[in-house]
Chain A
């Protein structure tokens, strides 16, 4: 266990509190700040806390789709697979991203630049098919515009 995780574990417990109910806010803070959930950090938290156990934290982290155990790429692409997007051809958009980046859904490119994900619904159904890149929504995406979207984020075709 690295001292870095030890300090962070203490800081997180102090920031949120040592209670079961803070498990999700703590994990959310870790996910946002570290970009993923390092398992040694969960162990460090559990060793210091009275009410938070490692198995509980791990169980919660695996249940919710927001948490990942591997570091994400610099840019996260979320292709919406909601009903409206699906009806308007979201599958082709996912396929276009997959073939352009040569990765599967949930994977990160070897240069750690892009992570490709699908989401159930971005709530932008009127812009279907929609894609969210780093928090920005792009609407009415076509197979052709996929390349342009990637290029704008520094992808070399």
Chain B
């Protein structure tokens, strides 16, 4: 029997904090017993609230009061003060605004949450992701019921078309149009696939969305299956996401029990079921034809399109592939109507987009904003600006397929077209903020090293071209750059963009081309002056001991791995530059600021 609790304490249990917070939950449960509050307080695990910076987070419902950085010792006080005495524990409330020194007791009061607009993440952190009852209580599966009773498949497709929803995996293809061609294709079996092979370094939107609200994704897929006429769904998810996998399995099992999956769903003529497939670690499998090859049990190599998967996809049958976030939007569009969804965002990009905000920004975490929000609003209002009062340098969107945008683009409203025009892409939603200490040549090398490693090797431009580009970047960062290297990179990059087979190859030069476009002077400093302006590239740094500051303690000499520092105790030391490997150990061990790095 369900108890009528007065309060619910929800503890953030995303995979980042889950190990930590399980212990916290045990302590809360014990303390509830100790204080005799069992009949009043329910404890739930919520998904990642997205504000990881301030975790562990605890939200007390229905008061909607959020406590941050909660430690074990705080639990007794929270229970006795908040629940018994009805007083807030002010010292644990959000306390971010240091100038006004004001408190932000309620969830939406904090800029981090208040400036967001959560549609796909609407239930994340609110419901218990392991309980279908919780989801049902928040209008879960209502959209499915509406579709099965009121809509014809074509009406569903028309509704999605009218909403203007575009694929959230990065490509931005209109979802309704994709469904239409899947619907129109002839086939005895049709497949719906959810692409949860989130491989971009610096992206965790899909993981958090599934961990927080797996049922929304499932409901979206069932609705899609009904519209297209598919009977089988597959979620292709990274094996690196164990918690998301577990929660999907629970959600699928619970949906089967309630006849939301399986034969004759909710008494209708429509039958649909979902299986999980675990990715085996290949970035290229995020590309839809490679993903299909992987499910078929082959090496994950892309195929030329056409034929598109909607005509000839998995096992040569019509297949519709959408990204996690796209699926999560479907129930909302059906429930609130296409017009409502289309009222949000910009002319060509409707609705919202989830971003994984990370890097040199104060508030890292998951944010969902309306399309058309500017980069500045995300980084400075929601993200709280740059950490350690450093200066903003660039923001990287779109992961290894995207580009770095400097400060003059901060007021760019976010949509598919504007980011493309600025030289980056929307991508799946990774957003890495960089401050003045990040070397742009080094970051371009980092991304190219990644794509080069992940190139499947099928087509020559990507396989060989990215390797040559990487070699040039490595020699630039090691001080061996040649005068025509920038031109070579531009020529190779343009060639790879034009001639590669799949999206991974075509986009692989973007990080290099965008950094050359916006930070050409940094490349030139590396090549011509043999200097790294941010002092990042080790080979280009020289270390010198200042004679008047060195007291001859011998610490640097002792720690030098190649023993290239000489000097008598209590006398000034010196570095033999010929043997120095530029590791910087002497610089970081010196306690007297007697070593300069330039």
Contacts and interface: CB of A to CB of B under 8 A. Distances in A.
A113 B202 CA distance: 30
B552 interface: no
Given A121-B199, A126-B365, A87 B360 contact: yes
B296 A21 contact: yes
Given A24-B280, A86-B446, A121 B203 contact: yes
B171 to A, nearest CB: 20
A125 to B, nearest CB: 4
A19 to B, nearest CB: 7
Interface residues of A, number: 38
A24 B438 CA distance: 39
- Residue from A21, A22, A120, A137 whose CB has the most chain B CB atoms within 10 Å: A120
B589 to A, nearest CB: 12
B416 interface: no
Contact of B297 (A20, A65, A121, A139): A20
A89 B277 CA distance: 34
Contact of B359 (A63, A83, A136): A83
Interface in A21-58: 21-25, 27-28, 56
Contacts of A87: 359-360, 432, 434, 438, 443
Contacts of B283: 120
B297 A19 contact: yes
A67 B280 CA distance: 8
B432 A83 contact: yes
A65 B198 contact: no
A120 B52 CA distance: 20
A63 B53 contact: no
Nearest to A32: B239
Interface in B49-93: 52-53
B240 A126 contact: no
Nearest to A123: B204
Interface string A8-24: 00000000000111111
Interface in A82-119: 82-84, 86-88, 119
Contact of A123 (B203, B294, B295): B203
A125 B296 contact: no
A125 B356 contact: yes
Nearest to A23: B297
Contacts of A125: 202-204, 356, 358-359, 364, 430, 432
B450 A63 contact: no
Contacts of A86: 201, 443, 446
A27 B430 contact: no
A60 interface: yes
A137 B135 CA distance: 28
B244 to A, nearest CB: 9
A19 B298 CA distance: 11
Contacts of A23: 297-298
B57 to A, nearest CB: 12
A87 to B, nearest CB: 5
A119 B239 CA distance: 12
A135 interface: yes
A148 interface: no
Contact of B430 (A22, A83, A135, A137): A83
A11 to B, nearest CB: 19
Contacts of B364: 84, 125-126, 128
Given A20-B296, A21-B296, A66-B280, A136 B19 contact: yes
A79 interface: no
Interface string B352-370: 0000111110001100000
A54 B583 CA distance: 46
B200 interface: yes
Given A122-B240, A137-B19, A64 B52 contact: no
Contacts of B446: 83, 86
Contacts of A124: 15-16, 204
Given A123-B15, A128-B358, 8 more contacts: A21-B296, A22-B297, A28-B239, A81-B201, A87-B432, A87-B443, A125-B356, A126-B364
Leading 7 A-B pairs by shortest Cβ distance: A125-B358, A83-B202, A64-B280, A123-B204, A126-B52, A82-B201, A126-B364
Interface of A: 19-25, 27-28, 56, 59-60, 63-67, 81-84, 86-88, 119-128, 135-137, 139
